[in-house]
Amino acid sequence: MTIEEAQAQVDQWIKTYGVRYFAEMTNMAILTEEVGELARVMVRTYGEQSFKKSDQQANLADEMADVLWVLICLANQTGVNLTDAFEKNMLKKTQRDSTRHLENDKLNQ
């Protein structure tokens, strides 16, 4: 699936099952909440915190998909073509950072 197809699929789902998009600011708050849930799984899986009994059903992939879902909703609502945006962002990073990381002694140890 391409990013463009994902944007179309989310839009179709919203129109079929979701009644309408939540307001942009509501979705921004939901995105923040979903990133927090992803952070909780990450810190318990890869960090120093241990899982609580209530966290044991957490699923890293599902939490990442939740973040992606809300990000796509925001893109659709605001008219952002994520494919174009991502391609431009990759070009910007490549031009700006083409040697930065390769020359970083902290990364090359």
The model's pTM: 0.90
CA–CA gap between residue 42 and residue 63 (Å, rounded)? 10
Read off the pLDDT of residues 11-36 as tens digits, 9 standing for 90 and up: 999 999 999 999 999 999 999 999 99
Residue 6 contacts residue 70 (beta carbons within 8 Å): no
Token pair for 71 = 């990000």
Domains and CATH numbers, the chain: 3-81 (1.10.287.1080)
CA–CA gap between residue 35 and residue 63 (Å, rounded)? 8
Task: Give one word for 10, left, alpha or beta, with left for phi > 0 and alpha for psi -120 to 50.
Answer: alpha
Q: What residue type is assigned to position 38 of the chain?
A: L
Token pair for 89 = 């962002």
Read off the pLDDT of residues 29-74 as tens digits, 9 standing for 90 and up: 999 999 999 999 999 999 998 888 887 788 999 999 999 999 999 9
Residue 44 contacts residue 51 (beta carbons within 8 Å): yes
Token pair for 5 = 């197809």
Cα 72 from chain centroid?
A: 8
Residue count of the chain = 109
